[in-house]
Amino acid sequence: MTEELTFKSMENEKKSNNGKKGIALLVVGIIVLVAIIVFLVMTIFISPARGDNWYALFLTNGQTYFGQISKQNSDLIVLKDVHYLQMQQVPPLEEGEEPQSQLSLMSVKDEIHSPEGEVQINRDHVLYVQKLRENSQIISGIKEQAKQ
């Protein structure tokens, strides 16, 4: 009877240890899962837009802004050094010619109300975002304007 009692207490002790190990593994698993989620949120929504990367943001109203994304969250995208394209009429050189349309790269800083050049855009108004290549004509134009 003593052997049976000792065997049962050993079984209960093993079950207790297995339960503690299971809880410990569950807690470690939850911590790892939370760490992965935080990492993904940080890399997807915040950090990939840092640095010298230039982006084109196409909005629901048909406007396209070019600039560097300085911040992002679930509601806003903050774009700095913002530019956009504007169609301008060039007067004819000779009488009787038709005026020509010319596409110009405009800086938000140069607008009449003199904003600081940073634009906060509601994420709901963004159709899509494209990263621009370093050899983009837009980036070349922005850099050329910055020299002047």
- Asked whether 80 and 67 are in contact (CB, 8 A), the reply is yes
Q: Which residue has the tokens 């560097």?
A: 68
Domain spans in the chain, listed from the N-terminal domain onward:
1-45, 50-147
DSSP state of 125: G
What pLDDT was estimated at residue 54?
Answer: 95
Token couple for 142: 């922005």
Cα–Cα distance, 113 to 69 (Å, whole number): 22
Specify burial of residue 33 (Cβ count, 10 A radius: 0-12, 13-18, 19+): exposed
What pLDDT was estimated at residue 74?
Answer: 87
Q: Which fold has domain 50-147?
A: SH3 type barrels. (2.30.30)
Residues in the chain with pLDDT values less than 70: 1-17, 38-51
What pLDDT was estimated at residue 145?
Answer: 87
Percent of the chain topping pLDDT 90: 38
pLDDT digits (tens, 9 = 90+) for 87-129: 888 887 788 888 788 889 999 988 888 888 789 999 999 999 9
Query: What is the pTM for the complete model shown?
Result: 0.60
What pLDDT was estimated at residue 21?
Answer: 79
What pLDDT was estimated at residue 148?
Answer: 80
Cα–Cα distance, 57 to 54 (Å, whole number): 10
- Asked whether 72 and 49 are in contact (CB, 8 A), the reply is yes
Write the Ramachandran bin of 6: left for phi over 0, alpha for psi from -120 to 50, otherwise beta: alpha
What pLDDT was estimated at residue 47?
Answer: 46
